Amino acid sequence: SSCGQMSAERRRLFNYRPVCFAALVLAAGILLAESLYPVNHLFRLIPIAVATAVAVALLLFRRARRYAALAVVFVVGVIAMSAASDIYDSRLPESAQGTFTARVTSEIISEDGTLSFYVDRLYVDGKKVSGEGRVYVSFGSAPDFGLGDTVALKGRLMPESHEPFDTYFASSALKGEYFVVYADEASHLADGEADFLSRLRVAVKRMFYVNTDSDTAAICTALVVGDKRGIDDDLYESVQASGLAHILAVSGLHVTALASAAMWLLRKCRLNSKISFFVVLALTFAYVALCAFTPSSVRAFIMTGALNLGTAFGLKRDLMSSLGLAAFLILLFTPFSVMHVGFLLSVFAVLGIFLFAEPMKRFFVKGIDRVCPSLFEEANPSVAGARLLRTDSCDISEARIRGRAEAYDPAAGKIVTVKDSAARRVLIRVAEAVLVSLAANFTTLPLAALFFGKVQTLFLLSNIFILPYMMIIYTLLLIITPFALITGLGGLLGAFDFLLLTFTAFTRAVGAVSFASVGVSVSVTAVAVAEVFLVLASRYFFFTRRTRAITLCSVAAVGAVLCTVFAFA
């Protein structure tokens, strides 16, 4: 019976993960609603009516009833995006010329004789304008106002424009930006005080800039709070060319590192696993709030919470389902995220790791076995001595990949912790770094080519040699920054001027290599075909090798035809 059940499971096109398919269908509904934005709003009723009819039809058939929920989710996606667009448009102000009052909500950045900052509570002719906006003003001297102050702006008010599938618009919409002010004059009206998180961000940034040089301060600010605006353009181009730009955007790498470190510390303190879960959840939420709830950090927060929930309460952990849940919730409450570059790169990077990292790792472990055989024997685990009868923390195949496990030693008659040789564990860690980087880039390179028009060729070197080092730097920053902020010992941060020399020197060296960043031009169709091809090539696509090969060749052929047609259309 169990064999028959497994056979039926293997015959499915994909295994049963409802939340993943719900996220995919929700995204489809959102994208369709966005494509209908320029036309009459009544046209939105067509997909809603069709999907509702499909849901009703599916409910009539017993075996198909479970799929009716997907049709409902599609309707929810169309409605969510339509509502978000209408609400955003209703809050857009009209163009205006004159003098306005507003409250400064960010630090003031001076560049090439122009000041830029964000404001809210903007009043035009006594009427309050919704949301935030960016202000640009020519200024010859230092401003006499700061964060939280009320200012008078004399100039021109321009509303943001909603362009379908525009990534810049999506970024503005997610930040709650509704307007831009080009001011000729800006003057102080009244003192004020900003909210706690804004003041904390500014305090952290000021501490970095006071105690370190400008490049170090900008990098530390990007690492801790995800604000990259202070990084020199030449340096940031070098960072992008090296394939390390993701380090400077608070994402899953940072949130997961914080959550893992906190969970490890609480475990060492022998705190109850359920209490530890809520402590870590609160800590990561506070950190995501400090980073202004960027889509990538929110995605990481939800995923980390879902996985830690399974660990704390003894539930089954499923990586793909946690990713699907994170994508579903983000898209449901912030539909514009579907067009946000940071969100897309974050989701597809994690997707690539889940699809390919583990199979590639198991393949490479077989090669490592020839150089450094494992203590964990699969074929004959009952051999005396170092060969282990069984493992308690994981199965033997998993123990061979990890390089360590809690296991029963028949000679000692007790559970012991056994480690493979140091050389083997180092080889496995290097292989992991290489394969995780490769897997993430499999699915993000097409998107990078689409959005940025270029791809990085030396990302493997960067992720092998610099990424682990930068994660150590990040961990040190998380420890020293709050300590220095509380005690006033900001001078401790001066050490990062030297610690970050390796990072800046490496990225500038790579950025100077002519082929480190290669220009590539691709279409949306090509990207969609590439991503479908990769998913079908993964371990989650349950077909025989022959059927899989035929399917992949068919997808490639159809994709080539579509790309050719659209290229000459």
Lowest-confidence region among 323-337, 430-444, 487-501? 430-444
Which has more confidence, 195 or 101? Answer: 101
SS (H, E, C) 403-442: CEEEEEECCCCEEEEEECCHHHHHHHHHHHHHHHHHHHHH
Largest Cα–Cα distance in the chain?
87
- What confidence tens digit (pLDDT) does each residue in 455-481 have? 888 888 888 888 888 888 988 998 899
The reported pLDDT for the residue numbered 517 is 86
> Does 10 score more than 70 pLDDT?
no
The reported pLDDT for the residue numbered 390 is 47
Alpha-carbon gap, residue 348 to 458, rounded angstroms: 20
Which has more confidence, 256 or 473? Answer: 473
Instruction: Give the amino acid at 479.
Output: I
* 410 contacts: CB under 8 Å, gap ≥ 6: 382, 384, 389
The reported pLDDT for the residue numbered 404 is 66
- What confidence tens digit (pLDDT) does each residue in 388-397 have? 444 444 455 6
| DSSP code of residue 248 | G
| Four-CA torsion 478, 481, 483, 484, nearest 10 degrees | 170
Alpha-carbon gap, residue 27 to 343, rounded angstroms: 13
List residues bridging with 419 in a β-sheet.
404
Alpha-carbon gap, residue 369 to 36, rounded angstroms: 56
The reported pLDDT for the residue numbered 240 is 86
Cα 559 from chain centroid? Answer: 27
SS (H, E, C) 476-539: HHHHHHHHHHHHCCHHHHHHHHHHCHHHHHHHHHHHCCCCCEEECCCCHHHHHHHHHHHHHCCC
Alpha-carbon gap, residue 361 to 375, rounded angstroms: 18
Report yes or no: 393 and 423 within 8 Å, Cβ to Cβ. Answer: no
Lowest-confidence region among 330-344, 405-419, 425-439, 469-483? 405-419
- What percentage of the chain carries pLDDT values higher than 90? 27
The reported pLDDT for the residue numbered 411 is 64
> Does 428 score more than 60 pLDDT?
yes
**Pick from 318, 286, 337: nearest CA to 478:** 286
Q: What is the mean pLDDT of the chain?
A: 83
* 26 contacts: CB under 8 Å, gap ≥ 6: 73, 74, 76, 77, 80, 328, 331, 332
- pTM metric for this prediction: 0.85
Which H or E element spans position 250? none
Alpha-carbon gap, residue 115 to 9, rounded angstroms: 61
Report yes or no: 97 and 156 within 8 Å, Cβ to Cβ. Answer: yes
> Does 75 score more than 90 pLDDT?
yes
Q: How many other C-beta atoms are found inside a 10 Å radius of the C-beta of residue 25?
A: 22
152-155-159 Cα angle (round to 5): 105
* 460 contacts: CB under 8 Å, gap ≥ 6: 243, 434, 437, 438
- What confidence tens digit (pLDDT) does each residue in 36-74 have? 998 888 888 999 999 999 999 988 888 888 889 999 999
